[in-house]
Chain A
Amino acid sequence: MTELTLAKAVNSGLRRALADDDRVVLLGEDIGQLGGVFRVTDGLQREFGTDRVMDMPLAESGIIGMAIGLAYRGFRPVCEIQFDGFIYPAFDQIVAQVAKLHYRTRGAVRMPITIRVPFGGGIGAVEHHSESPEAYFAHTAGLRVVTCSTPQDAHTMIRQAIACDDPVLFFEPKRRYWTKGEVDEDADFPFDRARVVLEGTDVTIVAYGPLVATAIDAAIAASDDGISIEVIDLRSLSPLDLDTVEASVRKTGRLVITHEAAQFGGLGAEIAASITDRCFLHLEAAPARVTGFDTPYPSARAEEHFLPDLDRILDAVDRVLGRQNALTGWSAS
C-alpha cells in the first residue's frame, strides 16, 4: 500500500499498463515532456520513450482518429483529452467511429481505446474547463463510460479500462486530483460494478466522480440528525450497475441522485426511471435529482451556485424523507 494523490494513482496505473503490455501507447497534447497539464503522465515519456508516449499535434479529432488506426493495427491507445470542454472536436470520431467499429465489422475490428478526460468543475477555471459531458457518451452504444472517485479506484480502473477490449471513456474528477488515499496496486474488483461506500437504511444517495466525496460529507452530516444514508459510487456509467442501486433502494425506499452535469437527459433521469421501473412499489417517495442546472457552466465565481453541494444534497434528502428542510423549514408537503 502506498499513499498517492488521485493524479499520481492514475500515473502509476498508466505506468503499470505501459510496462505490462507493449501494445499500450499514450497519445495526447503536452503529455510527454510536460507530463500533461495536470502532470498525470509525468515521467512516462522519459521512461517509455517518444514512440510509446506521444505528444500530439493540437487536434482532438486527429488524436482520436489516429488512435483508431493504431487500434486497427492491434495497439491499445490511451488518449488524453486535455480538458472536458475540448472533447467536442473529437465527437464524431468517438461517437461515429470508435463506438461503432466493432459493431460495424461484426466483431472483426476491436477498439480497445481508452479516452482519459479530466472533467467537472470546482477549480475556478475559465469556460470549457469545468464541464461534465459524460451523458453524451453514456448515451452512445458501443462506448463504456467510467469515473473514479478515489486514488485506489483511479489506479485500478485505469488499468482495467486499458485492458478492456471495448472503448472506454475514463472521466477523471479533476478537482479531486490532489485527494490522497492508500493505493494497493494488486487490488481488483469488477470493472462495471458500483461500490457501496457507506451503508445506511433511510436514504440511498447515488453519486459518481467528484460528488462521491460530497455525498459522503452529506451522509455524515445527516447522521447527526439521526438519518442513515447509504452512499453508492456508481463507478461505471455505461453500463450502469442498476442491480446494486436497486438492492439499496429496496432497503431504503428513497433515492437521491447527484451529478454535476445538467439535469435534462442526464444520468440522474436514466437512473430515476430505471429504478422506478424496477422497484416502484418499494419507493416511499419520488426519486430526487441534485444536479448542475440546465444552463451553460457559469463563470468561476458563480460556480458555487451551480455545483451540487452538501446543503443541496441534504435538502433533497429532506424532501425524499418528507421532512422540513433542516436549514429553511420549508416543506414540499
Chain B
Amino acid sequence: MRTTVSETRIEAELPSPPDELVQLLDPEGRRLTDPLYDPYVADVTDDDLMALYEDLVVVRRIDVEATALQRQGQLGLWPPLLGQEAAQVGSARALRADDFVFSSYRENAVAYCRGVELPQLVEVWRGTAQAGWNPYAVNMATPQIVIGAQTLHAVGYAVGCRHDGVDTATVTYFGDGATTQGDVNEAMVFAASFGAPVVFFCQYNQGAISEPVGLQAQRPIAERAPGFGIPSIRVDGNDVLAVLAATRRALERAHRGDGPTFIEAVTYRMGPHTTSDDPSRYVDPEQKAAWAAKDPIARVEAHLRERGVLTEARAASVAAKADEVAAAFRAGCLALPNPAPLSVFDHVYAEPHAGVARQRSQQAAYLRSIGEEGGE
C-alpha cells in the first residue's frame, strides 16, 4: 500500500527537486570536479585515500562479523551499517579529536574511527553493558536508541562549547526516519536560535525499518533545514570523498562560529534494520540492485586501481588486516565478562540513595541465603 501522496498530487504540482548531490567519485570511480568542494579535499593524497579505503573495508568486515556473531547467538542484536560505510567513515574522518559526536545506534563505523576499542563496540549488543565506552575517552556519546533524542544533546553540548569559549564542533548523526521526530525539529530550532556550532548529519538511508522514506518526507530532507534557518548540503552518501568534503565544509562553519549546518547524505541501507528484521517483506529488489551498483567501496577501489595505487598485493594486505581486526573483534566479544549480580545496583545515582542501597543489601542477603556467588 502506497501511503504517500507525493507521486499523485504534490509531484504533479511541483517540479522534482534538482539532483544537487555533491559527488566527487562517481560509481565507476571517476574523479569528478567540483569547484566548491574540491578545495576541501585538495590535501587528500593517494595514501590518504588508501587509508579511507582501508577504513571502509575494515568497518564492513567488522559489520559482517557482528552479524555472524548474532547469528551464532553471541549477540542479542546488531544493527548493520552495510551500504552506509562511506557516509560514516567520510564524515568521521573529517572530525577533529576535540569535536564531539552524538550518534544513533548504527554509527559503529563512526565509533571505530573515533578510536573505540573493538569489544566495546558490541558490549551493548552482547548485553554486558548499556554503553560500551566512556564518552569522554573518545569524544563520542554512547549510542542513542531513542530515535532522534541525541540531536538535542548535541545542541546543548555545542552551546556549552561556545559558553566555554572553545571552537569545538558537535556532530549529531541520525537517519531519515528520525527527522519526523519532534526532538530533531526542536534541535534544529534551538540550534538556529542559539547559533550552535552543530553539524546535523542525516543518513538518508531510504527506510525506517520497513517504512519507505516517502512516509517521512515528501521532499529531500535537506530542504527543511533552510526553513529553520540552517544551510544544508545534499551529498552522495556512498562517496567517501564527497562526504569528507561536505563534512569538512560544515565543520569549518562550526569551528569558525558560523552556526549549524545540515548534511543529508543520500545512501541506502543494504542490510536489515537489525538482525531481527526481515527485509524480504518490504525491500524492492530492483531498488536494492540499483544501489548495489553504487557501492561505496567499489568506487574507491576502482579509482585507486585506475591510478595504480591499489595493487593486488595491497588489496590482499587490506583484506588480511580486515580479517585480523575481525578476529580480534570476535575474540574480544567472546571474552567480555558477564556483569556481576549486584552490579545492577551500581551507578543508579552518583550520590547515595537510601532506597537503592536498601534493595541492594536485601538482594545481597538473599543471594547469600541461597548460596549464590556474588552475594558478597
Contact = CB atoms under 8 A, between A and B. Distances in A.
B376 interface: no
A112 B355 CA distance: 19
Nearest to A27: B156
B345 to A, nearest CB: 10
B190 A68 contact: no
A217 interface: no
- Choose among A57, A69, A106 the residue with the greatest number of B CB atoms under 10 Å from its CB: A69
Interface stretch (B4-12, B64-72, B146-154, B270-278): B146-154
A186 interface: no
Contacts of A108: 131, 134-136
A141 B183 contact: no
Contacts of B350: 102, 107, 110, 112, 165-166
Given A142-B349, A239-B354, A73 B142 contact: no
Interface string B118-130: 0000000000011
Contact of B146 (A51, A77, A92): A92
B368 to A, nearest CB: 21
Contacts of A141: 348, 356
A241 interface: yes
Contacts of B374: none
A129 interface: no
Nearest to B143: A104
B257 to A, nearest CB: 15
B160 A142 contact: no
A73 B166 CA distance: 12
Contact of A66 (B141, B152, B164, B182): B152
Interface string A301-325: 0000000000000000000000000
Contact of B190 (A66, A72, A165): A66
Interface residues of A, number: 49
Nearest to A141: B348
Nearest to B344: A103
B353 interface: yes
Given A61-B183, A62-B190, A238-B355, A109 B135 contact: yes
A263 B347 CA distance: 31
Interface in A189-207: 192
Interface string B92-133: 000000001010000000000000000000000000011100
B163 interface: yes
Main secondary structure of the interface of B (DSSP, over half): helix
B348 A142 contact: yes
Contact of B354 (A57, A74, A75, A192): A192
Given A65-B153, A72-B160, A104 B146 contact: no
B189 A59 contact: yes
Nearest to B153: A69
B161 interface: yes
A25 B193 CA distance: 17
A286 interface: no
A73 B354 contact: no
Interface string B249-276: 0000000000000000000000000000
Interface in A242-256: 242-243
Interface string A94-108: 001100101111111
A66 B146 contact: no
B146 A96 contact: yes
Interface in B170-198: 170, 182-183, 186-187, 189-190, 193
Interface string A75-119: 101000000000001001100110010111111111010000000
Given A51-B163, A73-B161, A73-B164, A65 B156 contact: yes
Contact of B155 (A69, A142, A166): A69
A222 interface: no
Given A62-B186, A105-B142, A108-B134, A69 B149 contact: no
Contacts of B182: 59, 61, 89
B145 to A, nearest CB: 9
Contacts of B160: 69-70, 72-75
Nearest to A105: B131
B349 A75 contact: no
A232 interface: no
B221 interface: no
A213 interface: no
A25 B163 contact: yes
B310 interface: no
Interface of A: 25, 51, 56-57, 59, 61-62, 64-75, 77, 89, 92-93, 96-97, 100, 102-110, 112, 141-142, 144, 164-166, 192, 238-243
12 contacts: A65-B151, A65-B153, A68-B153, A72-B156, A89-B182, A100-B130, A102-B350, A103-B347, A105-B142, A105-B347, A238-B353, A239-B355
